[in-house]
Structures are given as structure tokens and as C-alpha cells.
Amino acid sequence: MTSRFGGRTAIITGASRGIGLAIAQRLVSEGARVCITARKPEPLKEAVEALGGPEHAIGIPGRGDDPEHQDAAIAATLEAFGSADLFVNNTGINPVYGRMVDLNLDAARKIFEVNALSAISWVQKVHKAWLAEHGGAIVNVSSVAGTKPAPGIGFYGATKAMLTHITEELAVELGPNIRVNGVAPAVVKTRFAEALYEGREEEVAAQYPLGRLGLPEDVAGAVAFLLSEDAAWVTGRTLVLDGGVTLTGGV
């Protein structure tokens, strides 16, 4: 059996750890070469090593919402590997917690820039540089917080709901040669979500019909499916990955 991503190159943003790194690992294990991004250079370097070094991966440090960084990452990918067939918009931030009526609007603008607007900017650039001519696939990492009210992280949820809508709009615009999908995870055990389960994991996991919280690998498997030809007739969909928790009214 041939590997699903042999000869393909993926750009995965926010991928020095957590869900992004698990996606990179999964894609490399199935034959892809990857460009990963994150703000801090050192952990990014370590992640590149963990992915097998420069033959398989490059790391380009920068802020996800910085257009110059976006250009640099795409140019470096094309130079190193000669293509940019797959794009995973994984960077997402949530620096504030609290009620929306008390929301700091400067923080909100930043969350919107990183979580929603940057997704469009990255796609515009990857489209121009590679996808328009050659086709490919895109996955946006959304959240179950974007599927229903999420008290305390409401604006984050609103930006993820927007991202899900952006996924649909892009899918309509970019077919038939480019597919655009998303994933919407519930709680996945990463640094980002630690506050949601630390010290009470068993109690939180009890709400999940599948009896446990998500692991980055759970998301990576779904993203790999959506990027692959196995999902050749799927576009505009955001796949909920939640261990069943939203069925029980949890999260």
C-alpha cells in the first residue's frame, strides 16, 4: 500500500507542541514533508528534530498573524520541498477568561486577528503561491466552543464559529481542486486546555461517553483523513471530535 501523503508537503501552523505537532507527526509518518510554525524558535527546533530533521521537516518561527511571517514560511516551504499542497491552520489563542459583557476589546481584537482573520490571510497566500495552480487541501482547527455557547470563553468560541463559517465559504469558492474542511475538538490534553481539567481529570472525563478526554493524536487522525484522498468527496465540513460529550450536554 502506498503512503497517503508521499510526495506531498504540508504547512501546519502553531505546531511546536500539542495538536499541531501531533498532526505534523502523523503526516510525516504517512510520507509528507512538513513546515511547522510557532513563535518560540527553540521548541520549534526541537520539534523539527523530533520529526526526523530537515529531510522531513522545517520550522519557521513567527507570529501566526504576521503577514511577513506567513510569506516567509510559504517561501521557505517551496524552497525546501518544492510544493505546498496541504495547509493546516491550527494556531488559536484564548488569552482571556470571563463574561463577554466584561470582555477587554483590545484582547478581543487580537483573538479575532489570530483565530479568524489570519486563517484567511494564510489561505490567500498559500492559494496564490501554490494551491490555485496545483490544487490541494486545507483544514482549519476550530473548537466545540464554536458550536454552542461556551461560558467564560465566549469570544474565543465566537471566533471559532467564524472560522467554521470561513471554512464553508472557502469550500464553495475553491472547489473543485481545493477541499477545505475543519475539525472542532472538545477538551484535548494540551498545555492550552490544562486549566479545564488539571486536578479533576477523572471528574471531567466522566461527562464523556467515551470515558476520557481527547489526545492530540485523536485530532491528528481526523485531520489526516480530511487532508487525504480518503476524504475526496468531503468539503466545507467541520468534524466534531468530542468523545460524545456534546451529546450529554457537557462542555
Q: Which residue's CB is nearer to ligand NAP, number 92 or number 136?
A: 92
Is 193 one of the binding residues for ligand NAP (CB under 6 A)?
yes
Is 191 one of the binding residues for ligand NAP (CB under 6 A)?
yes
Q: How far is residue 182's CA from residue 7's CA, in Å, rounded to a whole number?
A: 23
CB atoms within 10 A of CB 186: 25
Reduced to 3 states, what is the DSSP secondary structure of residue 24? helix
Is 19 one of the binding residues for ligand NAP (CB under 6 A)?
yes
Among positions 5, 12, 20, 96, the unique one binding ligand NAP when judged by CB under 6 A = 20
Among positions 108, 192, 215, 234, the unique one binding ligand NAP when judged by CB under 6 A = 192
Q: How far is the CB of 204 from ligand NAP (least distance, A)?
A: 11
Q: In terms of Cα–Cα distance, which of 27, 30, 33 is closest to 9?
A: 33
The verdict on whether 156 is a catalytic residue reads yes
Reduced to 3 states, what is the DSSP secondary structure of residue 9? strand
Asked if residues 225 and 217 have their Cβ atoms less than 8 Å apart, the reply is no
Q: How far is the CB of 23 from ligand NAP (least distance, A)?
A: 9
Q: Which of 97, 156, 197, 208 is catalytic?
A: 156
Q: Which of residues 72-101 bind ligand NAP (CB under 6 A)?
A: 90-93
Q: Which of residues 35-54 bind ligand NAP (CB under 6 A)?
A: 37-40, 43
Residues 6+ apart with CB under 8 A from 232: 179
Q: Is 5 exposed, middle or buried (0-12, 13-18, 19+ CB in 10 A)?
A: buried
Reduced to 3 states, what is the DSSP secondary structure of residue 86? strand
Q: Which residue's CB is nearer to ligand NAP, number 45 or number 128?
A: 45
**Residue bearing cell 464523556:** 208
The residues carrying an active-site annotation are: 156
Chain residues in the site for ligand NAP (CB under 6 A):
14-20, 37-40, 43, 63-64, 90-93, 114, 141, 143, 185, 187-188, 190-193
